[in-house]
Structure 1
Amino acid sequence: MSDDGADVANGTQQQEETSDIPKFHLYIRASLIDNETQGACPMSQQGFMLSYILAQEKNVDFKVWTVSQVNPPSDFKDKNQAKVYPFIEGISGKDISGQSIAGFMPESADKVEDFFDSVNFDCPHLKRPKNLKDHILGKIDGISTQFNGFMKGVKSENVLTNILQKVEDHLDSNGTTFLEGDSLSYTDCFLLPRLQHIVVAGRYFRDYKIPSSMKNVWRYLRDAYDTPAFSETLPTDDDLLKFHWVRFADTSEFRKKGIKGVFGVDQAATRTNKIPDEISNILDNSNVASNGDQEDDEPEYENQPESEEQQVADD
């Protein structure tokens, strides 16, 4: 685990110790490759994104720490007996009810969600939707289950494509940049980390590509990559791939393809943080967008070297 957590968002949160602004430590799963940098757990990235945005809006002050999955420190195991990720440790300050958060430690994932709502003073769009019946989150909350089934070879790609079509239709009808408006919401923080897994791991292991006809989904991804709360919390592609490699049995469909599963060996740490140029051209050119031949293109994803300013604490 990191010896000194990293401040994030604007890098200048230096609140007075007597401030009522909630101050906490955020613990996320570390890389399965180096056991130090940020790992690929989508729940961890979701919590990281929420914390990042709340810090940008001056609602909270936090530091992020990575926890090795191979050998987590004994004192952390004592704190996090429920093995909840992301894990929160309240340091100081008060929540929206005026209660101190000092010493807060969640006992379940639901308690983590409750905590984020309790320190959210000014960002109603980051609140969890209460009624999912007619909400887009209720239509896509099974995306991880569908994707995992597809990765294991027990579900067809049509099941995954169908749930992405719901995102496409929602964005088309709303006409907004993101799922609930023109700024990132709780629902975006839920979907985007999981969408990144589909983009990177789905293509690598199962040759799955989001259809080029889903222009709203691609535009959504392009705008998200331009948003620091998403782009600065992305795991490396290698770590994301290993995340899936270690989770599935040897009988999994993608292992039958003879993939060696060697990740992070003598390779530059890269992140997919840009949509394919040919897809971007389609989005920018309405005439090209109407050309059905474009749907047969096989986009090549672009990777960028890991930034030296990556805001995740080292061990």
Structure 2
Amino acid sequence: MINQPVMSVFYQASVDAESVGNCPFCQRLFMILWLKGANFTLTTVDMRRAPDVLKALAPGSQPPFLLFNDEVKTDTNKIEEFLEEKLAPPEYTKLCCRYKESNGAGEDIFRKFSGYIKNPNPGLNDMLEKKFLSTLVKLNMFLETPLPHELDQNPNITESSRLYLDGDTLTLADCNLLPKLNIVKVVCKQYRDFAIPPELKGLTRYLNNAYKQDEFRYTCPNDSEILIAYQSVAKYLNK
């Protein structure tokens, strides 16, 4: 048995300074380690009162950061690459995607969502909503299009039935996208009374499957935590 690395994840704390806060990068890291089956400790950090030892560990950094044995990592993308390399089969689950297209799926959603939700002008709302909706439609098309391995199994299928972005198991791409989609869902409902249209069957199926997975469901912050994080930037429209 290989010696298990000692890992600690420092995670942005909620308003109560104890539970997990609204941070899609922190959630992404939490999901990766859980899916890999790694042993790690999770420490929530209230950055308003960050202990000196943390400031010394990662000066000027915001969570998440990872302490791997005695090594400090602070960049989320680099942490992901590092963990995929260090926590490899057969001891740990491989999480990288089979298809490079899966990594970029939905990458424009969060930017268009931000423009839509931060807009204070009712006259611009319809145009911004259409731009945002077009990114959801694009992701939906990706999720409904069969992947090569599905076509190998059945060349006649016209619509994918896969559970997640890259197939039937959660991957690094899902760990990146799902925390953002959860924020989108909560904030759009509150500020625009907007829900993901059920006609987007691929996207609806994807989210329904994801919320059944402990690694996603139990790493999501409370909805109230997300709304508190957005109350200073999201705008209600008084039509």
TM-score, normalization: structure 1? 0.63
- 3-state SS in 2 of match to 1:183: coil
After TM superposition, the structure 1 = structure 2 runs for residues 152-191 of structure 1, keeping only pairs within 5 Å, are 152-153=118-119, 156-174=128-146, 175=160, 176-191=162-177
Query: Deviations for 1:171-197, whole angstroms, at most 9, x for unmatched residues?
Result: 111321111011111111111111111
Corresponding residue for 2:216?
Answer: 230
Question: For the residues of structure 2 that align with 1:27 and 1:128, how far apart are their CA atoms?
Answer: 26
- Aligned in 2, Cα 1:49/1:257: closer, same or farther, shift over 3 Å? farther
| 2:238 is the counterpart of 1:253 | no
Corresponding residue for 1:94?
Answer: none
Partner amino acid, structure 1, of 2:4: I
State the percentage of identical aligned residues.
Answer: 26
Corresponding residue for 1:52?
Answer: 34
Query: Which of 136, 140, 145 in structure 1 is aligned with 2:111?
Result: 145
Question: For the residues of structure 2 that align with 1:181 and 1:62, how far apart are their CA atoms?
Answer: 27
Partner amino acid, structure 1, of 2:166: E
Partner amino acid, structure 2, of 1:160: F
Question: For the residues of structure 2 that align with 1:86 and 1:127, how far apart are their CA atoms?
Answer: 20
Offset of residue 142 of structure 1: 2.8
Offset of residue 138 of structure 1: 2.2
Question: For the residues of structure 1 that align with 2:113 and 2:47, how far apart are their CA atoms?
Answer: 23
What is the aligned-residue RMSD (CA, Å)?
A: 2.2
Query: Deviations for 1:62-98, whole angstroms, at most 9, x for unmatched residues?
Result: 11111113211111111122414321001xxxxxxxx
| 2:47 is the counterpart of 1:61 | no
On the 8 A contact 2:11/2:65 being kept in 1, the answer is yes
TM-score, normalization: structure 2? 0.82
On the 8 A contact 1:29/1:44 being kept in 2, the answer is yes
Offset of residue 170 of structure 1: 1.3
Question: For the residues of structure 2 that align with 1:82 and 1:70, how far apart are their CA atoms?
Answer: 12
- 3-state SS in 1 of match to 2:194: coil
Give the 4+ runs in structure 1 shifted more than 6 A.
none
On the 8 A contact 1:26/1:65 being kept in 2, the answer is yes
Question: For the residues of structure 2 that align with 1:188 and 1:225, how far apart are their CA atoms?
Answer: 12
Corresponding residue for 1:86?
Answer: 64
- 3-state SS in 1 of match to 2:72: coil
Partner amino acid, structure 1, of 2:43: W
Partner amino acid, structure 2, of 1:228: D
Greater per-residue helix proportion: 2
Corresponding residue for 1:4?
Answer: none
Structure 1 gap segments, 5+ residues each: 1-17, 91-101, 259-315
Question: For the residues of structure 1 that align with 2:4 and 2:45, how far apart are their CA atoms?
Answer: 25
Partner amino acid, structure 1, of 2:139: V
Structure 2 gap segments, 5+ residues each: 147-159
On the 8 A contact 2:22/2:225 being kept in 1, the answer is yes
Partner amino acid, structure 2, of 1:152: K
Query: Deviations for 1:190-223, whole angstroms, at most 9, x for unmatched residues?
Result: 1111111111111101222111111111111111
Offset of residue 107 of structure 1: 4.3
| 2:90 is the counterpart of 1:104 | no
On the 8 A contact 1:171/1:217 being kept in 2, the answer is yes
Corresponding residue for 1:116?
Answer: 83
Offset of residue 115 of structure 1: 2.1
- Aligned in 2, Cα 1:19/1:82: closer, same or farther, shift over 3 Å? farther
Query: Which of 206, 210, 215 in structure 2 is aligned with 1:220?
Result: 206
